[in-house]
């Protein structure tokens, strides 16, 4: 007779933390609030890193995560201001996004039980699956560059969590940090360009009307 | 090596505060790319050791990056009159430096990280402000980051499999992720659809960075990875997948070109189809196939520069590059029309352009292993040609006169690039007709005098 899988106390705590991060990342319409979820990803991943010799490296990674979020926050501010002034575009409603977040969690749990990442601790493995799925769903649902970019950052954060657990070289860690900043910069540039393009189109449509 | 890597970085840093003065920025960036290219072609470069990690280029890699640097220099100087973000000049140099470093890195993982960094810098130049480019650029960024992560995971697994040969899981993981990552990063099917559309609003600089420099870096990195895989399984996987996906890219690219009503997109899809031909040549796993594919790749770079700049001038003169609205464009912008046609025909593999010579030889080589595939590939190429004929008919129609006359500087640039593209068709014959001694002098002494 099939039995329900048992969940330990540690797993329960991990699930709770990941659920909160996932909901903060996916539910808010305001991208600035969603960035708190991304910051949560970086904090969680930093706590899961294994640095036997260079413990401060985890703090540096956390600092870089905060820098990335700050860069994206500035862009999100511009995007939100423009969205308010021109009337917010139609987005998927709150219930749909909540269902997508729950689906991502259930899917991540199922995949993690079926294919656990044997090289990394349980918490990191589950978090990576969950955040990666959150990222993929956000990319698919995102209608504009910044929303897709936040999904991409969540996906990258999940991948880097697992990668940096296996590869602990300082040069690799430093280059991964540079990579994070470069991706965030690319997202900001593309989102700001998209914004300028929208404003220009709206202005020309207004003039012709 | 330190000069080759640091010069573009230093000039890129200097360009940021100078970006208001285009007439300073463009020549400086061009000079940096030119000097980097000449330094790479002058002779063997000493390896560099940074924090215990070696950075070294082989003679072939030097030749490849020398060519790419010179092509970038030509792009920077020939297209600087076209509208584009001035920060892109600095981004192009940063990208060049990161991509050269990725090829030179001895460590497989570090090389993969640098490759991803370079590709991200290249993709940033797609933010041109043209309608829809921000969304398209973001999709390409996602594609590139996913491909880069797969290559990084594969490189790390390959390193582990070499360190721990008794652990069986790493080899399989490396083979799968690397094959997928490399093919995705090269832009073969199914990534084709995005890369074809990107050229609709991209500047010539972005086209060269994303369609020539990025694939060149991926190919050179793949060469290092294949050499590191002692089992040879990675090469076999990439070769098997490469033949099928290369053929699919040729077919999909040409079908994509057939339905386009926009010059930039049409050239984009024809060039994607052409990349499929390069992929086929590389996947044949023979010396001849490899050499032909590399020459074809080189000619493709010149054709993309000509086509990209010609489409850019048409956009500047007419405000857009929709084929229907370019009726009679030949009278106002003759060299732009000739440029688009020449580049398109070269990319579609039509005589008398260089693309025809190498494509014919490649298809003959392919016929030995996959005879049934060749007629289908030739038939698919008709799609690109039909699109080009449609453009030619519209451009030479009797009505028109709605745009501005093409700028004088482009008449010179268009003429020079068209002649260069024409010469590429005959260059292989000239070289092969030379006595062996002179061939040796040309390649060993002139190209690499110090080696």
Tell me what the mean pLDDT of segment B108-117 comes to. Answer: 94
| Cα–Cα distance, A70 to A146 (Å, whole number) | 14
Q: How many residues does chain B have?
A: 451
Answer whether residue B450 shows pLDDT above 50: no
> Could A144 and B135 be called an inter-chain contact, meaning their C-beta atoms sit closer than 8 Å?
yes
Q: Which residues of A touch B160 (CB under 8 A)?
A: 166
Helix (H) or strand (E) holding A32: helix A31-48
DSSP alpha helices (H): ranges in B164-262?
169-186, 192-198, 204-208, 214-228, 233-258
Answer whether residue B448 shows pLDDT above 90: no
Answer whether residue B230 shows pLDDT above 80: no
Which among A156, A192, A200 has the least Cβ separation from residue B145?
A156
Q: What is the mean pLDDT of chain A?
A: 84
| Cα–Cα distance, A53 to A57 (Å, whole number) | 9
* B444 CA: distance to closest CA in chain A (Å): 37
- Residue B53, pLDDT score: 83
pLDDT band at B384 (very low <50, low <70, confident <90, very high): confident
Give me the residues of B, 84-113, that contact A with CB < 8 A. Answer: 109-110, 113
Please name the residue of chain A whose CA is at the shortest distance from the CA of residue B137.
A190
Contact A113, A5 (CB under 8 A): yes
| Cα–Cα distance, A27 to A99 (Å, whole number) | 10
> Could A171 and B53 be called an inter-chain contact, meaning their C-beta atoms sit closer than 8 Å?
yes
pLDDT band at B447 (very low <50, low <70, confident <90, very high): very low
Nearest one of B242, B301, B245, B244 to B271, comparing CA atoms:
B301
| Cα–Cα distance, A192 to A184 (Å, whole number) | 12
Contact B419, B308 (CB under 8 A): no
Ordered DSSP codes for B175-190 = HHHHHHHHHHHHT-TT
Contact A50, A165 (CB under 8 A): yes
Q: Which residue has the tokens 């031909």?
A: B277
User: Which residues contact residue A139 at a Cβ distance below 8 angstroms, ignoring those fewer than 6 apart?
Assistant: A148, A151, A152, A155, B142
| Cα–Cα distance, B306 to B421 (Å, whole number) | 8
Nearest one of B340, B144, B185, B331 to B257, comparing CA atoms:
B340
- Residue A137, pLDDT score: 92
Instruction: Name A105's bridge partners.
Output: none
For the four alpha carbons of A190, A196, A200 and A202, in that order, the dihedral sign comes to positive
Look at the pTM and tell me if it is higher than 0.80: yes
Nearest one of B144, B52, B137 to B98, comparing CA atoms:
B144
Tell me what the mean pLDDT of segment A30-57 comes to. Answer: 81
Answer whether residue B163 shows pLDDT above 80: yes
CA distances from residue A203 to A86, A198, B109, B369 in whole angstroms, order as listed: 11, 9, 48, 58
Contact B144, B119 (CB under 8 A): yes
Answer whether residue B335 shows pLDDT above 60: yes
- Residue A157, pLDDT score: 92
- Do the strands B48-50 and B53-55 form a parallel or antiparallel pair, or are they unpaired? antiparallel
Answer whether residue B444 shows pLDDT above 60: no
Say whether residue A36 is in contact with chain B using an 8 A CB cutoff: no
Say whether residue A99 is in contact with chain B using an 8 A CB cutoff: no
| Cα–Cα distance, B180 to A130 (Å, whole number) | 23
DSSP alpha helices (H): ranges in B284-353?
287-318, 329-332, 334-348
Q: Residue B139: count other Cβ atoms within 10 Å of its Cβ.
A: 21
User: Which residues contact residue B362 at a Cβ distance below 8 angstroms, ignoring those fewer than 6 apart?
Assistant: B277, B280, B281, B289, B292, B293, B296
Percent of residues, chain B, with pLDDT higher than 90: 22
Q: Which of A79-88, B4-13, B187-196 has the lowest mean pLDDT?
A: B187-196
Answer whether residue A184 shows pLDDT above 50: yes
- Residue B74, pLDDT score: 92
User: Which residues contact residue A136 at a Cβ distance below 8 angstroms, ignoring those fewer than 6 apart?
Assistant: A151, A155
Answer whether residue B128 shows pLDDT above 90: no
Q: Which residues of B touch A171 (CB under 8 A)?
A: 51, 53, 110
Of the segments A83-87, A181-185, B287-291, which one has the largest average pLDDT value?
Answer: A181-185
> Could B141 and A190 be called an inter-chain contact, meaning their C-beta atoms sit closer than 8 Å?
yes
Tell me what the mean pLDDT of segment A12-34 comes to. Answer: 86
Say whether residue B114 is in contact with chain A using an 8 A CB cutoff: yes
DSSP alpha helices (H): ranges in A142-209?
145-166, 170-208
* B450 CA: distance to closest CA in chain A (Å): 33
- Residue B449, pLDDT score: 47
Please name the residue of chain B whose CA is at the shortest distance from the CA of residue A158.
B149
Say whether residue A149 is in contact with chain B using an 8 A CB cutoff: yes
The predicted-structure confidence for A129-180, as pLDDT tens digits, reads as follows 999 999 999 999 887 889 999 999 999 999 998 888 888 788 888 899 999 9
- Residue B356, pLDDT score: 85
Cβ-based contacts under 8 A for chains A and B: 88
The predicted-structure confidence for A108-128, as pLDDT tens digits, reads as follows 888 888 888 888 888 888 889
Contact B104, B40 (CB under 8 A): no
> Could B113 and A179 be called an inter-chain contact, meaning their C-beta atoms sit closer than 8 Å?
yes
* B134 CA: distance to closest CA in chain A (Å): 5
Q: Which residue has the tokens 């294919």?
A: A115
Please name the residue of chain B whose CA is at the shortest distance from the CA of residue A157.
B149
Q: What is the mean pLDDT of chain B?
A: 85
| Cα–Cα distance, A139 to A118 (Å, whole number) | 28
């Amino acid at each position: 007779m099939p039995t329900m899988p048992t969940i330990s106390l540690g797993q329960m705590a991990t699930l709770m933390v990941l659920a909160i991060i996932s909901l903060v990342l996916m539910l808010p319409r305001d991208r600035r609030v969603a960035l708190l979820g991304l910051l949560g990803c970086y904090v969680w991943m930093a706590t899961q890193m294994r640095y036997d010799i260079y413990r401060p490296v985890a703090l540096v990674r956390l600092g870089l995560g905060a820098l990335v979020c700050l860069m994206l926050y500035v862009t999100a501010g511009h995007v939100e201001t423009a969205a308010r002034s021109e009337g917010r575009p139609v987005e998927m409603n709150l219930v749909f996004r909540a269902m997508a977040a729950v689906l991502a969690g259930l899917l991540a749990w199922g995949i993690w039980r079926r294919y656990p990442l044997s090289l990394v601790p349980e918490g990191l493995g589950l978090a990576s699956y969950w955040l990666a799925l959150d990222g993929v769903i956000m990319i698919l649902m995102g209608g504009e560059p910044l929303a897709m970019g936040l999904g991409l950052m969540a996906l990258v954060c999940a991948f880097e969590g697992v990668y940096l657990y296996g590869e602990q070289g300082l040069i690799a860690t430093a280059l991964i940090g540079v990579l994070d900043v470069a991706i965030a910069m690319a997202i900001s540039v593309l989102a700001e360009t998209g914004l300028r393009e929208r404003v220009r189109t709206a202005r020309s449509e207004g003039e012709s009307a | 090596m330190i000069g080759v890597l640091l010069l573009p970085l230093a000039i890129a840093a200097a360009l940021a505060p100078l970006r208001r003065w285009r007439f300073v920025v463009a020549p400086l960036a061009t000079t940096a790319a030119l000097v980097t290219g000449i330094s790479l072609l002058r002779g063997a470069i000493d390896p560099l050791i940074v924090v215990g990690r070696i950075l070294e280029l082989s003679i072939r890699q030097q030749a490849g990056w020398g060519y790419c640097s010179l092509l970038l220099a030509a792009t920077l100087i020939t297209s600087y009159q076209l509208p584009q973000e001035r920060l892109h000049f600095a981004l192009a140099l940063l990208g060049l430096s990161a991509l050269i470093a990725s090829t030179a890195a001895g460590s497989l993982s570090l090389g993969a990280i640098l490759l991803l960094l370079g590709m991200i810098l290249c993709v940033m130049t797609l933010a041109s402000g043209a309608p829809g480019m921000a969304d398209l650029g973001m999709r390409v960024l996602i594609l590139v980051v996913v491909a880069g992560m797969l290559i990084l995971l594969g490189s790390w697994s390959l390193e582990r499999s070499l360190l721990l040969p008794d652990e069986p899981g790493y080899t399989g993981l490396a083979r799968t992720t690397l094959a997928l990552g490399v093919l995705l990063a090269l832009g073969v099917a199914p990534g084709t659809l995005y890369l074809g559309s990107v050229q609709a609003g991209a500047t010539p600089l972005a086209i060269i960075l994303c369609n020539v420099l990025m694939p060149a870096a991926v190919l050179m990195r793949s060469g290092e990875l294949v050499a590191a895989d002692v089992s040879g399984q990675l090469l076999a996987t990439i070769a098997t997948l490469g033949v099928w996906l290369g053929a699919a890219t040729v077919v999909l690219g040409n079908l994509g070109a057939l339905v386009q009503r926009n010059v930039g997109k049409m050239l984009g899809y024809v060039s994607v189809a052409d990349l499929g031909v390069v992929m086929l040549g590389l996947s044949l796993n023979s010396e001849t196939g490899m050499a032909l594919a590399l020459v074809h790749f080189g000619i493709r770079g010149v054709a993309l520069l000509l086509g990209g700049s010609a489409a850019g001038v048409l956009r500047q003169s007419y405000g857009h590059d929709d084929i229907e609205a370019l009726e009679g464009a030949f009278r106002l912008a003759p060299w732009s029309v000739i440029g688009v046609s020449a580049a398109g025909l070269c990319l579609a593999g039509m005589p008398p352009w260089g693309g025809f010579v190498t494509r014919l030889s490649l298809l003959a080589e392919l016929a030995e292993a996959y005879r049934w595939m060749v007629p289908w590939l030739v038939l698919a190429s008709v799609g690109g040609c039909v699109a080009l004929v449609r453009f030619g008919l519209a451009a030479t129609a009797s009505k028109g006169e709605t745009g501005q006359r093409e700028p004088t500087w482009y008449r010179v640039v268009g003429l020079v690039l068209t002649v260069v593209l024409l010469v590429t068709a005959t260059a292989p014959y000239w070289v092969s007709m030379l006595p062996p001694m002179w061939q040796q002098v040309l390649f060993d002494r002139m190209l690499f005098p110090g080696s």
